[in-house]
């Protein structure tokens, strides 16, 4: 009888550890990609080389994700100093055109969906961002309305940013860790 309880306990523990580690990997990612400042990209997402965890992450969190031949995705969960992105803070997203035919930068809530807001603003793109005189851009990311380019987030909620390179330049495919992405600078917090 002791053997049954022992092996039953081992089996239950094994299942719990397996499910827990799978959930952790699906939520936080495996790595295996490249990092550019706070931005991270999987080099196998959207390709036949993707492992089962990468495919599961895309199925759960990469709604309408395109094939890697068409799009390369970089995601940031932290600002450029390494602190978790929070709707309690205001950030400045500073950059210039991404090396792609078309690009966009979008904020997503903790559920991996667009962040509902009264302004109806969910992202900025190559064709919608207002530019500085030097052709760069600054986007204010904040729960409070801001002047100029403003991307609303929810107060007190963590969020992620995704930069999409649609039809990236060959240089991005050959050296994805050298891609130029915008900085995410914390301006203030409540």
d(C-alpha 70, C-alpha 33), whole Å: 18
d(C-alpha 14, C-alpha 43), whole Å: 31
At 153 the three-state DSSP class reads coil
Per-residue pLDDT at 111 exceeds 50: yes
Q: Report strand pairing: 137-142 vs 149-152.
A: parallel
What pTM was estimated for this model as a whole?
A: 0.76
Per-residue pLDDT at 58 exceeds 90: no
Class of domain 33-189: mainly beta
Q: Summarize pLDDT for 140-169 with one digit per residue, the tens.
A: 999 999 999 999 999 999 999 999 999 999
Per-residue pLDDT at 2 exceeds 80: no
d(C-alpha 126, C-alpha 37), whole Å: 21
Of residues 1 and 109, which shows the higher confidence score?
A: 109
Q: Report strand pairing: 160-168 vs 149-152.
A: unpaired
User: What local confidence, expressed as pLDDT, does residue 5 receive?
Assistant: 63
């Amino acid at each position: 009888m002791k053997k049954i309880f022992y092996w039953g306990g081992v089996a239950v523990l094994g299942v719990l550890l397996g499910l827990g580690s799978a959930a952790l990997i699906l939520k936080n990612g495996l790595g295996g990609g490249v990092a550019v400042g706070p931005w991270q990209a999987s080099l196998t997402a959207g390709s036949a080389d993707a492992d089962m965890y990468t495919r599961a992450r895309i199925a759960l969190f990469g709604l309408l994700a395109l094939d890697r031949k068409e799009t390369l995705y970089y995601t940031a969960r932290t600002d450029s100093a390494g602190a978790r992105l929070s709707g309690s803070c205001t950030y400045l997203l500073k950059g210039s055109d991404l090396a792609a035919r078309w690009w966009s930068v979008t904020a997503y809530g903790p559920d991996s969906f667009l962040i509902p807001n009264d302004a109806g603003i969910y992202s900025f793109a190559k064709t919608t961002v207002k530019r500085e005189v030097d052709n760069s851009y600054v986007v204010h990311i904040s729960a409070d309305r801001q002047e100029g380019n403003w991307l609303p987030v929810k107060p007190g909620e963590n969020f992620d940013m995704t930069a999409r390179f649609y039809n990236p330049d060959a240089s991005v495919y050959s050296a994805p860790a050298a891609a130029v992405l915008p900085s995410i600078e914390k301006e203030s917090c409540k």
